[in-house]
């Protein structure tokens, strides 16, 4: 198996730069498009902007980790990228790095949300 200490320095640098950019992007999206709430600017920044910034940052970092894991697994087991786990890692990595993962997560129906609607 692999460890995160095997990650090349250039890959770590790219992951950090892209993740910080995605975090800033998430922050600005909430600043611009989060106008539907009539809150003070401070409250909006604390409750919405920082939360999206953290979410986008975490999704981008874990996306890079997923692609690195896929690359490592493919090196040890060439059949892995065709497996369900390999496809999951590829999709998670691409959606995470491009900051589409938070949007996709909002569109997935959760079973207990239907239970709360039935009340």
Domain residue spans of the chain: 4-118
Given a cut of 60, is residue 115 above it in pLDDT? no
The answer to whether residues 50 and 23 touch, using CB atoms and an 8 Å cutoff, is no
Average pLDDT of span 40-58: 81
Locate 46 and state its tokens.
């604390």
- This prediction has a pTM of 0.74
What is the H or E stretch that residue 93 is in?
A: helix 84-97
Q: How confident is residue 2, by pLDDT bands cut at 50, 70 and 90? A: low
- Sequence length of the chain is 119
């Amino acid at each position: 198996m692999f460890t995160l200490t095997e990650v090349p320095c250039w890959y770590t640098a790219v992951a950090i730069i892209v993740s910080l950019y995605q975090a800033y992007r998430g922050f600005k999206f909430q600043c611009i498009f989060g106008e539907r709430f009539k809150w003070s600017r401070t409250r909006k920044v604390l409750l919405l902007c920082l939360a999206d910034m953290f979410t986008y940052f975490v999704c981008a970092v874990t996306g890079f980790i997923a692609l690195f894991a896929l690359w490592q697994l493919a090196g040890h087991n060439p059949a892995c990228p065709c497996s369900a786990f390999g496809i999951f890692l590829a999709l998670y990595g691409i959606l995470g790095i491009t900051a589409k993962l938070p949007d996709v997560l909002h569109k997935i129906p959760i079973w207990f949300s239907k239970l709360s609607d039935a009340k």
